[in-house]
Structure 1
């Protein structure tokens, strides 16, 4: 049994994120902890915009909308009981929301976030700054789930030869053994067709041990421009990706194909920070 955090901000409940957790519990029992974060003072956001871009946290509302939070907690509790999921509820965040969530992830195997609902009012950019920071600061792997999705029957393992991409593949296999029998493609996307898979023998030895139905695929395109379009056509898949370096994560994430895939709300995305 693994411990999964499912994080909601005060005003929003992600049906997609909960639905994914429910499907996981059907395969193997989980402990699902609902983390109900405070709402943000949207009126004060303009003065915090620069700080958020630099990795700071958002200002919390002076008076949390307790009724909205309690309603979400009641819904979470009811759905867990209906699905026979062992659950816990955490909501006592007296500090800024993001540090509280980071501490929670230290004691969890996986964090699930709704890509469309997590602090959706922050801004027009998708993924929004708060979602990016939550992914960056998590001390466990993160699963970002759209509201509408097909439960994965295929795996897309994004590989670029880096230690972070290999680490993400291993974490995915360890956490989701029920997915390892899925049809799996290990994809290396580069515009230069002459470049072969980095460390091809080593990555083959690793992946073929975990994923018996494995295919290598070289996508001869610029992933930052076209990968999201390519992946959007792979219905019923989950994308597995490394974090591309913690030190400059926000800038790298902004320019990466992972950001585009999350923005399009087509596929669940598994991200593992190292």
Structure 2
């Protein structure tokens, strides 16, 4: 991996998301491109909300546009400071207008996107992942990592698998982009409805995984409530990286049925790697 996109609202930058992007860049010796977004042509957020998300307290008497410039300049300064302090090469791309369109175009020429699940340009309150982030997960032309709110380290990789090509694609993309994690513990997690055994395919995938990782274990479960079983396994785990396949019902294949991705991302606090063909 050579190029990581750190995607952020120019007004509201998540320091924990940036720290995680720097961790990945150091791990892979990659460059970080900071994609700073401003929905200038369709700004729907109130002045109060913009001030609330700003990195510094609003200055009395300063117009909103001037205050936003102060927020932008401070966030970009912090971005460069974090990258320079970590010995990471970095560059900033600023976009005004249509944030989603800008990110999708950037994704075509990148290896990975790192984004905070709460990133939004809507004036309506949203739960994570926001509509903006869900659109990126469905339409990005490179894999996406949802950064955790608090990151310490990665001790284990959980690869979710349901026999679909989409889930295998995500596993392979993760492995190819982050070969530096080959010595970490890897758990292949398969949760499917009853009557849909995956044993033969699992054995083939296990053979492939052993060629790339030193410590591989398998967890296979059948359950009528796939989502609940998945949440039960993933909730409360620490220092793990979760790998998932296609996001969104409109894609050729969902990771699970019914699609549990949204609720999983809302509740799981660990970094989550998501890719689709």
Note the residue ranges of structure 1 that are not aligned, 5 or more in a row: 45-61
Task: Write out aligned runs for 1:117-266 (5 A).
Answer: 117-119=119-121, 122-192=124-194, 195-197=197-199, 199-221=201-223, 222-244=225-247, 247-248=250-251, 256-266=259-269
- The answer on 1:268 being equivalent to 2:271 is yes
Are the structure 2 counterparts of residues 142 and 85 from structure 1 closer, same or farther at C-alpha, using a change threshold of 3 Å? same
Q: CA deviation at 1:190?
A: 2.2
Question: How big is each residue's C-alpha offset from its partner over 1:234-266, in whole Å with a ceiling of 9 and x where there is no partner?
Answer: 2111110111567358x9999633322321241
Q: CA deviation at 1:206?
A: 1.6
Q: CA deviation at 1:29?
A: 1.5
Contact 1:141 1:271 in 2 (8 A): yes
Query: Matched residue of 1:199: which SS?
Result: helix
Q: CA deviation at 1:14?
A: 1.4
Question: How big is each residue's C-alpha offset from its partner over 1:140-183, in whole Å with a ceiling of 9 and x where there is no partner?
Answer: 11000121133211010000101110011001001111212111
Contact 2:244 2:274 in 1 (8 A): yes
Note the residue ranges of structure 2 that are not aligned, 5 or more in a row: 47-63
Contact 2:166 2:255 in 1 (8 A): no
- Name the CA distance, whole Å, in 2 between partners of 1:20 and 1:155: 16
- The answer on 1:90 being equivalent to 2:97 is no
Please tell me whether Structure 1 or Structure 2 has the larger radius of gyration of its CA atoms.
2
Moved over 6 A (4+): 251-254
TM-score (norm 1): 0.83
Q: CA deviation at 1:18?
A: 1.3
Query: Matched residue of 2:128: which SS?
Result: coil
Count of paired positions: 255
- The answer on 1:5 being equivalent to 2:5 is yes
Structure 1 counterpart of 2:30: 30
